[in-house]
């Protein structure tokens, strides 16, 4: 069954829950070093998981947990540690059948490869990390693993949400996102895997030679611009200075996507900077994402709420003190679980980000899609340790 963004909230939640439980049973249980250990230590049997309350028996994961051993959070194909279920056997048969069919196709590497080799290549594409993004945490750099399967499926599907924000093939997009950002990789996936007509130009990280770079890139006459707050503010200041000197401004800019949610004052200040840069009519869209989340989400129009993907993520909003679920629309800490990802996989990950405006799972008044909509401001709370999360 294909996920439908016009199902009501209850239908979407039921589908997401069923899909997450299946993912945990068929993949996380046997192939995830960290959660496999947690399940054994807590006597948690995912095959007996039938409700959200059952799922909540899995302890919250914190940044401290992740930083202690990032490699243990990467799915690793190995010998089964428990008796295979009928679903696992079916998956194995499907893999073998796909490998047999692949053996009859032409070889792209200029040599004949047997069924076993092609099966190994399929397994490599699904399980072997091919790229790492880096984030800072607990005083050290932390790697986030991506597989080819991640890039082809969940990353590219999330990247396609760019079109909800009004992007259309042929529009010129300028990215000021740092290369460590999940959004930077997401945009590459959108270009290469979703729609080849996405025209994106990537600025270098940092603010070195910003004046010269602004002169060159403003001539690009971008219609979409996205980046983090500090970089965007610096860029808009240089563009305003250039405009004051009679150089090209940002008159063609239609949308400015800010990777972090702003409060009311931040929105007003950014709009003032847009006006000084010659882009007073541009829409200012707010975004949200984290490197360990492996995604960047944003609004489709001003004030609609940040559109969170319910297909490859399972979302919870928890009270910052009791860690109990809050009602939809109430402030709480955003907590997520990856669903049908490979590489780095997190379950019940406590982001520490308080959604002060609440999370509403409803139809967007602009794009018409039904999905979780996070309303800013989003405030980072002090970190909690494992004992607190438990």
Residue 388: per-residue pLDDT? 46
Categorize the per-residue pLDDT at 198 as very low, low, confident or very high, splitting at 50, 70 and 90: low
Above 70 in pLDDT, residue 99?
no
Mean pLDDT of all residues in 62-81: 87
Q: What is the pLDDT of residue 109?
A: 54
Is the pLDDT confidence value at 195 over 60?
A: yes
Residue 283 belongs to some domain of the structure: yes
The pLDDT value recorded for residue 386 is: 42
pLDDT at residue 203, as a whole number: 65
Segment 177-205 mean pLDDT = 76
> Residue 4 falls within a domain, yes or no?
no
In 3D space, the residue among 364, 260, 271 whose CA is nearest the CA of residue 310 turns out to be: 364
Answer whether residue 310 is part of any domain.
Answer: no
Measured distance CA(30)–CA(146) in Å, rounded: 19
> What pLDDT score was predicted for residue 344?
98
- Top-ranked range on mean pLDDT: pick from 119-123, 165-169, 381-385: 165-169
Query: What's the pLDDT at 118?
Result: 65
For residue 213, what pLDDT is reported? 60
Q: Is the pLDDT of residue 319 over 70?
A: yes
Question: Rounded CA gap, 47 and 60, in Å?
Answer: 19
How much is the average pLDDT of 93-111?
Answer: 52
> In this predicted structure, what is the pLDDT of residue 112?
65
Average pLDDT, the chain: 85
Residue with the larger pLDDT of the pair 7 and 111? 7
pLDDT in the model for residue 221? 77
- On whether residue 357 sits in a domain, the answer given is no
**Of 72-76, 82-86, 230-234, 358-362, which range is least confident?**
82-86
The pLDDT assigned to 89 comes to: 54
Q: What confidence score (pLDDT) does residue 294 get?
A: 96
Q: Which domain holds residue 174?
A: 148-301
pLDDT exceeds 80 at position 70: yes
Within a domain: 53: no
In a domain, residue 241? The reply is yes
Say which residue, 331 or 126, is predicted with more confidence: 331
When divided into structural domains, the chain yields a total of: 1
Give the residue, 99 or 204, on which the prediction is more confident: 204
Does some domain include residue 18? no
pLDDT digits (tens, 9 = 90+) for 234-283: 888 888 888 888 876 788 899 999 998 788 888 999 999 999 988 999 99
- What's the average model confidence in pLDDT over 47-58? 97
CATH code where residue 284 lies:
3.40.50.12780
Q: Is the pLDDT of residue 42 over 90?
A: yes
Which residue has better confidence, 1 or 75? Answer: 75
Residue 192's pLDDT is what? 76
Percent of the chain with pLDDT over 90: 57
Q: Is the pLDDT at 54 greater than 60, yes or no?
A: yes
Whether residue 176 is contained in a domain is answered as yes
Residue 291: pLDDT over 60:
yes
């Amino acid at each position: 069954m294909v996920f439908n963004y016009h199902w009501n909230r209850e239908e979407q939640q039921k589908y997401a829950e069923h899909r997450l439980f299946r993912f945990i049973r068929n993949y996380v249980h046997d192939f995830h070093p960290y959660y496999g250990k947690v399940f054994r230590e807590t006597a948690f049997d995912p095959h007996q998981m039938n409700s959200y309350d059952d799922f909540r028996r899995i302890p919250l994961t914190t940044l401290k947990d992740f930083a202690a051993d990032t490699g243990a959070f990467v799915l690793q194909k190995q010998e089964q540690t428990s008796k295979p279920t009928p679903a696992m056997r079916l998956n194995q048969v499907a893999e073998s059948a796909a490998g047999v069919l692949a053996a009859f196709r032409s070889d792209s590497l200029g040599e004949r490869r047997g069924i076993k080799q092609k099966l190994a290549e399929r397994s490599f594409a699904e399980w072997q990390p091919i790229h790492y993004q880096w984030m800072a945490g607990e005083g050290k750099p932390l790697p986030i693993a991506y597989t080819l399967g991640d890039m082809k499926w969940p990353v590219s599907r999330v990247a396609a949400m760019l079109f909800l924000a009004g992007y259309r093939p042929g529009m010129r997009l300028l990215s000021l996102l740092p290369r460590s950002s999940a959004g930077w990789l997401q945009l590459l996936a959108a270009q290469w895997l979703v729609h080849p007509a996405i025209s994106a130009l990537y600025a270098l990280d940092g603010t070195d030679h910003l004046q010269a770079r602004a002169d060159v890139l403003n001539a690009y006459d971008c219609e979409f611009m996205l980046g983090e707050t500090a970089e965007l503010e610096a860029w808009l200041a240089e563009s305003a200075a250039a405009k004051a000197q009679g150089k090209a401004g940002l008159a063609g800019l239609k949308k400015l996507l800010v990777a972090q949610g702003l409060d009311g004052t931040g929105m007003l200040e950014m709009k003032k900077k847009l006006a000084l840069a010659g882009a007073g009519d541009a829409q200012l869209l707010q975004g949200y994402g984290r490197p360990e989340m492996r995604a960047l989400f944003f609004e489709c129009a001003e004030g609609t709420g940040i559109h969170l993907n319910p297909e490859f993520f399972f979302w919870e909003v928890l009270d910052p003190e009791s860690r109990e679920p809050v009602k939809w629309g109430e402030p709480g800490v955003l907590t997520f679980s990856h669903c049908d990802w490979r590489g780095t996989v997190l379950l019940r990950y406590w982001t520490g980000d308080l959604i002060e405006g609440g999370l509403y799972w409803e139809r967007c008044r602009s794009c018409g899609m039904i999905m979780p909509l996070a309303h800013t401001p989003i405030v980072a709370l002090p970190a909690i340790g494992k004992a607190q999360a438990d």
